[in-house]
Amino acid sequence: MNLAYDLVRLGLKPPIKFVDASQEKYDVIITCTGYEMPDYSFIQGFDRTQLYEHFFWTEDPSLAVINPPVDTAGFGAAFPYFDIISQWVMNVFSGKTSLPEKEAMRKWCAEHMASLHVKRFYDSWLETIRIGLLSGLLPDPARDFSRYWNIISSMVKPAYLATPPAFPEHGMMDSLFDFRIARIRILSGLGNDALGYLLKKGDITDAEYRAALEIDPRQSISVHLPYSQTYL
């Protein structure tokens, strides 16, 4: 591993060129840009509006940017957020996880990345859950609801992303929120087949199964835990 301070050029093909005119070839390059707005000018042809899910460059997904989205006002637990993104990137690079086809990623970028000047609220913990499910790094709630539930209903701890707690670890403000109702509303969004499987597995009770079936679909909550991104 070599430590370098300034790049002049990083193209799609090696070598890369440094400010001292030296050139090197590397298998993996990690750039640490700190807390300032990143300067990507050294990457030839790079367009930040073409970052799928804000992280993977659609034109060459071997380039990933592990950084809060540039058009957001972030809030919440940063370390689990960066942890889950890093795991996703490593799994993609190692071939354990696949990304969508290029056209699908471009379509996502056209919808979500076209107006980077519009500020959005960004809940880091809820995004950690969403990304963890999208990338297959968190338990699938349709197959293993208990482990999924014990993560989302516990205090925020990075270690729980790898090993969910046996029981939810409650926080100081949990008494202000009715988790029982939230649990049923999330279960109701899984569909009849998943509910039947979870009941047979013993992951949910008969009462929870019946309550979830009775929920108005308009009251269901997605397992991805959507939230308003309106920035006030």
Q: pLDDT at position 19, please? A: 66
Q: pLDDT at position 4, please? A: 60
Structural domain contains residue 119: yes
Is 120 in the same domain as 64?
yes
**pTM beyond 0.85:** no
- Distance in Å from the first CA to the final CA of the chain: 44
| Sign of the torsion formed by the C-alpha atoms of 181, 150, 54 and 109 | negative
Q: pLDDT at position 34, please? A: 63
Give me 115's structure tokens.
Answer: 């107006």
Is 41 in the same domain as 109?
no
Distances (CA, A) of 71 to 55, 60, 79, 121, 197: 13, 22, 19, 9, 40
Question: Running along the chain, 232 residues long, what does each successive block of 10 average in pLDDT?
Answer: 60 69 75 67 84 93 85 76 92 93 95 77 90 94 98 90 92 87 97 97 98 96 90 68
Last residue of a domain, one of 84, 108, 138: 138
Site of tokens 């889950």 = 84
Q: Based on the structure, what is the number of domains in the chain? A: 2
